[in-house]
Amino acid sequence: MIKVAINGYGTIGKRVADAVAAQPDMEVIGVSKTSVSAEAYIAKERGFPLYIADIEKRESFEKAGIPVAGDVEEMIKKADIVVDATPGGVGAKNRPIYELYKKKAIFQGGEDADVAEISFNAHANYKEAIGKQSARVVSCNTTGLVRVIHALDQAFGVEKVRAVMVRRGGDPNDIKRGPIDAIVLNPVTIPSHHGPDVRTVLPHINIVTLAMIVPTTFMHMHTVQADLKKETTRDAVLEVFRSHNRIGLVTKATKITSNAQLREYTQDLGRPRTDLWENGVFEDSVSVLDGKEFYCFQAIHQEADVIPENIDAIRALMGTVNDPDESIRMTNEALGFVA
Ligand code: NAD
């Protein structure tokens, strides 16, 4: 069993912890919090040993009825690998302690690419990550883009990509973010950082991205346009997407044409926390014009799509499964993906 510590039990960390606990070859040896919060109670409820960043706060946790297993350093010492899910920029500050104890570490997309030896996506570069000391799972938007671009590139070759990201204003629990009533160009300059971030995983791809933020909390919506190298058809592209185990086609028959309906759908499916781990590519939007011009809309659940990628990154760094398809299959099966 791979012993996994999750440093930072927030939006991403709590999902990674549940996903690790669901795997047959991994166990959660601890999660960490900085202060008493609802999530600290959840960690207790789940039975995850809770470690805290500042041990002087032990009393405030214990007064609140939350047992403390120790400080973060103790947690790191017990782990084979640490998933750092602290807020963007904190991961880089934590890196020295992982290095000190010679622990493998996985960072998140809020960190700069140079925080780790490799920027990771399971379908695109799992094999390159095998045995490495550290990896950065690219952000939710980048993960969504990489999945689609890599699949198209493998099947038809990609000449260039142009994509627009309509981003959620904040996560559902984030009471401090907005906008409440605006469409914010973010950034107003072109390109946005997402294109260069895609190139940290797929360096050969010519890509330009634009981004804006809107008042919604559940999912980003992408428009993706790609010029393909080989002529193809809409049906052939749909076939590629159908056979991809982290791209879900939102079919015409469901009549779903928005993030709101997709949320209802994941809720009705009984997905934990309404998580959509796959890219939600709208079947009706998939178009190929003049044989080589590809278009689609895709919904990307910001809190969820990176979770299975973290699980595969654990196996890759640990070197316990060398076949990417096998790791992806194990992860999907344990999480309960619906085909
Ligand atoms: P979050 O604020 O929800 O959670 C961060 C957690 O880390 C909190 O529980 C906080 O208490 C804890 N923490 C803060 N400082 C700490 C420290 N020094 N030591 C230990 N724990 C500490 O953040 P999040 O949204 O889960 O984001 C985490 C990372 O994942 C960021 O890099 C972010 O860019 C990336 N990411 C976030 C999303 C998203 O939609 N929220 C999507 C993809 C990637």
Q: How many helices (H) and strands (E) does the chain have?
A: 12, 16
Tell me whether the omega of the peptide bond preceding residue 191 falls within 30 degrees of 0, making it cis: yes
Reduced to 3 states, what is the DSSP secondary structure of residue 286?
A: coil
Q: Residue 15: its pLDDT value, please?
A: 98
Number of Cβ within 10 Å of residue 123's Cβ equals 21
Q: Residue 338: its pLDDT value, please?
A: 65
Tokens of 7: 């440093």
Q: Which residues pair with 281 in a beta bridge?
A: 249, 298
Is the Cβ atom of 88 under 6 angstroms away from ligand 1? yes
Please give the CATH topology (third level) of the domain spanning 140-300: Dihydrodipicolinate Reductase; domain 2 (3.30.360)
The answer to whether 234 touches 156, Cβ cutoff 8 Å, is: no
**Pairing mode, if any, of strands 184-185 and 207-214?**
antiparallel
140 belongs to the catalytic site: yes
ipTM over 0.95: yes
Q: Residue 337: its pLDDT value, please?
A: 85
pLDDT digit string, tens, across residues 319-329:
999 999 999 99
Number of Cβ within 10 Å of residue 70's Cβ equals 17
Q: Residue 339: its pLDDT value, please?
A: 44
The domain 2-137+306-335 belongs to what CATH superfamily? NAD(P)-binding Rossmann-like Domain (3.40.50.720)
Is the Cβ atom of 153 under 6 angstroms away from ligand 1? no
Atom 15 (ligand 1) nearest CA: 86
Q: Residue 197: its pLDDT value, please?
A: 98
Q: Which atom of ligand 1 is nearest to the CA of 173?
A: 3
Tokens of 105: 């570490």
- Ramachandran region, residue 22 (left: φ > 0; alpha: ψ -120 to 50; beta: rest): alpha
Spans of all domains in the chain:
2-137+306-335, 140-300
Tell me, yes or no, if the two domains 2-137+306-335 and 140-300 fold the same way. Answer: no
Is the Cβ atom of 186 under 6 angstroms away from ligand 1? no
Q: Which parts of the chain have pLDDT scores under 50? A: 339
Round to whole Å and give the CA distance between 285 and 300.
15
